[in-house]
Amino acid sequence: MWRKRLRTSARPERIFEAIRAVIAQTGVLKGKTRRALDTVVLDNAVATQDTVTQLVAAVRRVRREVPAAAEIIATRCHAHDRDTPGKPQIAWEDKAAREALVSALVNDAHTIVEALRDKALNLQAGTLWRCWPAKTWSQAKGSDGTDGRWRIARRVAHERVISTVGPQARHVHKSVRQRQDGYKAHVAIEPDGPVHCRGADRGMR
């Protein structure tokens, strides 16, 4: 759709004009002639997890890998029994029960991050710090931000992790209609030289 709008605009070549200007100013392609670029979407090899599953799994991993975390979680975090496999057992069809669980999980996350603040910045990828991006949570309706009531944000947060098993995967949009979970791989080919392939980047929304 945006290509159609571009073609029918007053300056349909303006993107190429801007690129040519940057190339001329930087000399980045000096001595090179032709280059073809393409992007392909690669499926994620692991199951996408919902937000509750991610946070539960991330806290369990923090408990395993971060020194002193086990004692903090055992004594100060009470959202659910983290020794029980799977998601917390609640009445999932009950809105109030879901809201109470989410609030408890987020409050536990705040407790852990605050208690481990000097260590949290060094946690491995896939642990609580990485799986809890800004804006994943928002205050519950009517909350003043001090009563401990939270909800999962009604939006896809920027850089939202979709699996603690594959923390580099993202919700990928190849086009408006083609949406899947995985990565974007970018390939650059120079017909007058060797083929250069760039690694898969994190999928961006």
Let me know if residue 178 belongs to a domain: yes
Let me know if residue 140 belongs to a domain: yes
pTM above 0.75, yes or no: no
Q: Are residues 129 and 58 in the same domain?
A: yes
Where in the sequence is the domain holding 1, given as residue range(s)?
1-31
Predicted confidence at residue 193, as pLDDT, reads 63
Let me know if residue 161 belongs to a domain: no
Q: Are residues 88 and 140 in the same domain?
A: yes
**Measured on CA atoms in the order 165, 171, 173, 177, is the torsion positive or negative?**
positive
How many domains does the chain contain in total? 3
Q: Are residues 71 and 42 in the same domain?
A: no
Predicted confidence at residue 92, as pLDDT, reads 92
Q: Are residues 22 and 72 in the same domain?
A: no
Predicted confidence at residue 105, as pLDDT, reads 92
Mean pLDDT per 10-residue segment, the chain (205 residues) = 80 87 82 74 81 85 84 92 87 93 91 77 52 69 87 73 78 76 80 56 46
Q: What is the DSSP string of the chain?
A: -HHHHHHTSS-TTHHHHHHHHHHHHH-TTTT----EEEEEEEE-SS----HHHHHHHHHHHHHHHSTTHHHHHHHH--SS-TTSSSS--S-TT-HHHHHHHHHHHHHHHHHHHHHTHHHHTTPPTTSTTTTS-TTSEEEPTT--SSS--EEE-SS--TT----SSSTT-EEEESSSS-EEEEEEEEEEE-TTS-EEEEEEEEP--
Let me know if residue 177 belongs to a domain: yes
Predicted confidence at residue 126, as pLDDT, reads 42
Let me know if residue 42 belongs to a domain: yes
Q: Are residues 6 and 25 in the same domain?
A: yes
Q: Are residues 59 and 147 in the same domain?
A: yes
Let me know if residue 158 belongs to a domain: no
